[in-house]
Amino acid sequence: MKNISVPSSAFAKHAVEVKKRVSLLDDFQLPVIEEWTVDWKEKERIKRSDKKIKWNKLDIYCRLLAKKSQPGIYFLMINKADSKRLFELFQKQKKESSRIRIQDGVGAPDFHSVSHVPKKFKESTCIYVGSRREKLNERFKQHLGYGSRRTGALHLARVLALEKQKPEITFCYCVLDERYRHVTEEIESVVQRHLKPFIGKNILGD
């Protein structure tokens, strides 16, 4: 194979593009943050009424659906007293999901692609931080545990399936202006560094 080289001008050009893009954050402030505390009883009632969850019965979902074409940032919060127990449940589910994937494959009915779980628990009131360039409503469903089993997400319904007393979890989000669509990941990384979630990969790597 011939030696492959990339001209320094290509990197210089990319640097200019990146600087121009992130300059949008110079005066950025998060918009109003909306909150919704997960109501498992209400969700189960809606589910039982028609075997399939009627998402249009949930006000939070309707609000997200109305803004589905816009980018957004979201994070899930929990009381500090419940955080370690939830982390342990994630560890258990992640281990089980890995076993099923190796033994039966990702097509197995019990397989759920759970988000990255760090080896060690670091106390925090934040479970996870994420962003979407569009369709925040779909990501909401996935994290609750009612989206595709193969899509990496929290899959909370699965993780908490055997817990009679489920912890109070609050889904927080803010919809961004269209001009921030291409810097949602950068905004996410700042929020992640500030809130220090105990589930998910650290975008900044620190």
Task: Give 201's pLDDT tier (boundaries 50, 70, 90).
Answer: confident
The closest alpha carbon to 141, from 50, 49, 46, belongs to 46
CA angle, residues 173, 25, 116, in degrees to nearest 5 = 50
For the cut 50, the answer to whether the pLDDT of residue 3 exceeds it is yes
Token output for 203: 């975008």
Asked if pLDDT for residue 142 goes beyond 60, the answer is yes
Report residue 193: phi and psi, to 5°. -65, -35
- pLDDT of res. 48: 59
Whether 26 contacts 190, CB under 8 Å: no
Q: What is the DSSP letter of 153?
A: B
The pLDDT of residue 129 is above 80: yes
Residue 87: name the closest of 168, 167, 198 by CA.
198
Share of the chain above pLDDT 90, in %: 72
Residues with Cβ < 8 Å from 122, sequence gap 6 or more? 196, 198
Strand arrangement, sheet containing 126-132:
34-37, 169-175, 72-78, 126-132
Contact 131, 185 (CB under 8 A): yes
Q: Are 38 and 171 in contact (CB under 8 A)?
A: yes
Regarding pTM above 0.85, the answer is yes
Please report, for the chain, the start and end positions of each structural domain, with discontinuous segments joined by +. 31-195
Provide the pLDDT for residue 206. 44
Cα separation of 57 and 50, whole Å? 12
- DSSP 3-state assignment of 126? strand
